């Protein structure tokens, strides 16, 4: 087990170094001169030249990379060209809003997706299965940005049930502002007993949350179905059936436990996917999160900010994969044995 974890950790570190090199190279192949961007549009040539020296762009590429990594590890992720603020601090101020939205969406998705997938697998081939398959494939095929707008049309304009955009309504944020504890409005408002703000926050998160859930819901349902089908075709399930065990027991005890691995993997992957999906959703719902920050950075070719977001998401992705692999090794002895 220990050797497996060490091997897996080493691999993750290699990949993270690769990710940092790739991101670094991407920002150095930028068509416009970063130094010129830094000083702004009406700068004199000598100002650009001094900015180039200040940013270390006059040094060879490997020196630039070394400095970049050194600063990166010291928590200095550069300064945003647009706001001239440290990128890392900005990222952390935008992150909680995105995380709250993602967690909210994932809870909806998995609470519905896993049961849907199980029903679909058990009723393989009949109408319920076809319906749930259509539903889950549709969830994966929906363009999120479009779904977001359609939900706004239906629930804001026509039914007047939910607000159009934002995280909190103006009145609440003035009359009973939320004290920042974790940055998660739903949690912060609850722990400070600010129920008016809790209501408003909940009211605002529903539409973006549903939009975000569509993709993981479809994916988790499809994945649960595929895995359950595979397992239900295994010999030990046939044996269990032949021994006359009750179907519920077969499903809950024998099949579902073995299906948990792939579902867990999909959970971690969809989390990372959702992190990117929020780029689209947050721009439609004006949700002040990481995606909102990223779209602004992209529009203004603010490359330190683009790089920061890219690295943050990619590292999260690598870390999640690492956690999943190690958890799976704990759950499934076959994985760790194959590595020893």
Partner 1 sequence: MIDRLSNAFRYIKRSPLTVTGSSIVFLLILVSLLAPWIAPYPKDTGTSHIEEAFHSPRLKHPFGTDELGRDIFSRVIFGSRISLKVGVLAIGLALLIGMPLGVIAGYSGGAIDEVIMRVTDTFLSFPSLLLAMAISAILGPNLRNAMIAIAISWWPWYTRLLRSEAISVRERDFVTAAKAVGAPWGRILFKHVLPNSIVPIIVQASMDFGGVILTCAALSFLGLGAQPPTPEWGLMTSTGRTFFLTHWWIVTFPGIAIFISVFAFNLVGDGLREILDPKMRRARR
What are 213's two structure tokens? 């859930």
CA gap 265, 52 in Å, rounded = 44
Q: How far apart, in Å, are the Cα atoms of 60 and each of 28, 66, 70, 122, 179?
A: 12, 10, 16, 61, 47
Applying CB under 8 A, among 134, 171, 196, 323 the residue interacting with partner 1 is 134
Of 286-315, which residues contact partner 1 (CB under 8 A)? Answer: 294-295, 298-299, 301, 303, 306, 310, 313-314
Q: Check: CB of residue 243 under 8 Å from CB of residue 111.
A: no
The verdict on 254 binding partner 1 (CB under 8 A) reads no
Closest CA to 112 of 245, 224, 25, 230: 224
Tokens at 168, concatenated: 């909190």
CA–CA dist 261, 335 (Å, integer): 11
Q: Which stretch binds partner 1 (CB under 8 A): 1-9, 60-68, 140-148, 203-211?
A: 140-148
Does position 245 interact with partner 1 (CB under 8 A)? The reply is no
Among 250, 318, 326, 329, binds partner 1 (CB under 8 A): 318
* Size of interface with partner 1, in residues (CB under 8 A): 64
| 229 near partner 1, judged by CB under 8 A | yes
60 makes contact with partner 1 (CB under 8 A): no
Which residue, 136 or 189, is less far from partner 1 as judged by CB? 136
316 backbone dihedrals φ, ψ, rounded to 5°: -60, -45
- Classified as helix, coil or strand, 229 is helix
Helices 256-285 and 144-151, interaxial angle, to 10°? 70
Residue 145 touching partner 1 (CB under 8 A): yes
Binding letters toward partner 1, positions 153-192, x by CB under 8 A:
x--xx------x----------------------------
- Listed ranges 55-63, 80-88, 259-267, 276-284: which one lies at the site for partner 1 (CB under 8 A): 276-284
Q: Which of 6, 9, 26, 61 binds partner 1 (CB under 8 A)?
A: 26
Residue 68 CA to chain centroid, in angstroms? 25
Taking the complex as a whole, the smallest distance from the CB of residue 320 to partner 1 amounts, in Å, to 10
Give me the residue label for tokens 């920042």.
180
15 binds partner 1 (CB under 8 A): yes
Among 266, 312, 253, CA closest to 87: 312
Residue 255 touching partner 1 (CB under 8 A): no
C-alpha 189/C-alpha 74 separation (Å) is: 33
**Segment lying near partner 1 (by CB under 8 A), choices 24-32, 76-84, 204-212, 329-337:** 24-32
**What is the Cα–Cα distance from 324 to 223, expressed in whole angstroms?**
16
Contact between 317 and 272 (Cβ < 8 Å): yes
Residue ranges that bind partner 1, judged by CB under 8 A: 11, 14-16, 18-19, 21-23, 26-27, 29-31, 121, 124-125, 130, 133-134, 137-138, 140-146, 149-150, 152-153, 156-157, 164, 222, 226, 229-230, 232-233, 272-273, 275-277, 279-280, 283-284, 294-295, 298-299, 301, 303, 306, 310, 313-314, 317-318, 321
């Amino acid at each position: 087990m220990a050797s497996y974890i060490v091997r897996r950790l080493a691999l993750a570190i290699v990949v993270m170094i690769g990710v940092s090199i790739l991101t670094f190279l991407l920002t150095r192949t930028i068509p416009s001169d970063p130094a010129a961007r830094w000083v702004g549009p009406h700068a004199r040539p000598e100002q650009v030249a001094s900015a180039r020296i200040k940013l270390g762009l006059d040094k060879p590429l490997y020196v630039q990379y070394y400095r970049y990594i050194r600063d990166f590890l010291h928590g200095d992720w550069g300064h945003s060209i647009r706001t001239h603020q440290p990128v890392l601090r900005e990222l952390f101020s935008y992150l909680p809003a995105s995380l709250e939205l993602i967690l909210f969406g994932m809870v909806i998705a998995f609470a519905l997706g896993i049961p849907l997938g199980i029903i679909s697998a058990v009723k393989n081939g009949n109408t319920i299965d076809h319906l749930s398959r259509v539903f889950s494939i549709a969830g994966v095929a929906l363009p999120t940005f479009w779904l977001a707008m359609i939900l706004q049309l239906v629930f804001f304009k026509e039914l007047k049930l939910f607000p159009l955009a934002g995280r909190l309504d103006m009145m609440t944020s003035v009359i009973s502002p939320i004290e920042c504890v974790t940055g998660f409005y739903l949690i912060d408002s609850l722990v400070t007993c600010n129920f008016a703000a809790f209501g408003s926050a909940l009211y605002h998160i529903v539409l973006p949350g549903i939009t975000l859930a569509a993709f993981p819901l479809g994916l988790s349902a499809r994945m649960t179905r595929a895995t359950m089908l595979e397992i239900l075709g295994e010999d030990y399930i046939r044996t269990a059936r032949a021994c006359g065990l009750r179907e519920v027991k077969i499903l809950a005890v024998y099949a579902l436990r073995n299906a948990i691995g792939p579902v867990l993997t999909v959970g971690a992957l969809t989390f990372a996917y959702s992190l990117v999906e929020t780029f689209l959703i947050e721009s439609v719902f004006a949700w002040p999160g990481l995606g909102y920050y990223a779209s602004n950075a992209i529009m203004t070719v603010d490359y330190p900010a683009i790089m920061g977001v890219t690295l943050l998401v990619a590292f999260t992705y690598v870390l999640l994969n690492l956690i999943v692999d190690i958890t799976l090794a704990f759950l499934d002895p076959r994985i760790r044995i194959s590595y020893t």
